[in-house]
Amino acid sequence: MKSAIITGASSGIGRAIAYELAKNNYNLLLIARRENLLSRICQDLENTYKIKAKYIVMDLSKNNDFSYVKNYFLETFDSLDVLVNNVGIGYYGQIENISLENLEKLFWTNLFSHIFITKELVPIMKQQGYGIIVNIISLIAFFPLKNWSIYSSTKCAQMGFFKSLRRELYRHKIKVINVYPGATETEFFNSLELPYNFPKLDKAEKVAQKVIKAIKRNRNSEVFISFSHWLFHKLSVWI
Ligand SMILES: NC(=O)c1ccc[n+]([C@@H]2O[C@H](COP(=O)([O-])OP(=O)(O)OC[C@H]3O[C@@H](n4cnc5c(N)ncnc54)[C@H](OP(=O)(O)O)[C@@H]3O)[C@@H](O)[C@H]2O)c1
Domain segments of the chain as ranges = 3-238
Active site residues: 151
List the end-to-end C-alpha distance of the chain, in Å, as a whole number: 46
CA–CA gap between residue 21 and residue 44 (Å, rounded): 13
Distance 189 CA to ligand 1 centre (A): 10
Q: Can you give the pLDDT at residue 23?
A: 98
Question: Which CATH entry fits the domain spanning 3-238: 3.30.360.10, 3.40.50.300, 3.40.50.720, 3.40.50.970?
Answer: 3.40.50.720
For ligand 1, atom 36, name the residue with the nearest CA.
8
Pairing mode, strands 221-224 and 174-180: parallel
Please spell the DSSP secondary structure of the chain, one letter per residue: --EEEEES-SSHHHHHHHHHHHHTT-EEEEEES-HHHHHHHHHHHHHHH---EEEEE--TTS---THHHHHHHHHH-S---EEEE---------GGG--HHHHHHHHIIIIIHHHHHHHHHHHHHHHHT-EEEEEE--GGGTS--TT-HHHHHHHHHHHHHHHHHHHHHGGGTEEEEEEE--SEESGGGTT---SS--S--EEHHHHHHHHHHHHHHTS-EEEESSHHHHHHHHHGGG-
CA–CA gap between residue 52 and residue 5 (Å, rounded): 12
What ligand 1 atom has the least distance to the C-alpha of 140? 6
Q: Which residues line ligand 1 (CB under 6 A)?
A: 8-14, 32-34, 37, 58-61, 86-89, 109, 136, 138, 181, 183-184, 186-188, 204
Distance 207 CA to ligand 1 centre (A): 13
CA–CA gap between residue 56 and residue 10 (Å, rounded): 11
Q: What's the pTM value of the predicted model, to 2 decimals?
A: 0.97
Distance 87 CA to ligand 1 centre (A): 5
Query: For every one of its 239 residues, what pLDDT tens digit does the chain have, with 9 covering 90 and above?
Result: 999 999 999 999 999 999 999 999 999 999 999 999 999 999 999 999 999 999 999 999 999 999 999 999 999 999 999 999 999 999 999 999 999 999 999 999 999 999 999 999 999 999 999 999 999 999 999 988 999 999 999 999 999 999 999 999 999 999 999 999 999 999 999 999 899 988 779 999 999 999 999 999 999 999 999 999 999 899 988 87
pLDDT tens profile 9-55:
999 999 999 999 999 999 999 999 999 999 999 999 999 999 999 99
Distance 164 CA to ligand 1 centre (A): 24
Pocket probe for ligand 1: among 6, 33, 85, the residue whose CB has the most ligand atoms within 8 Å is 33
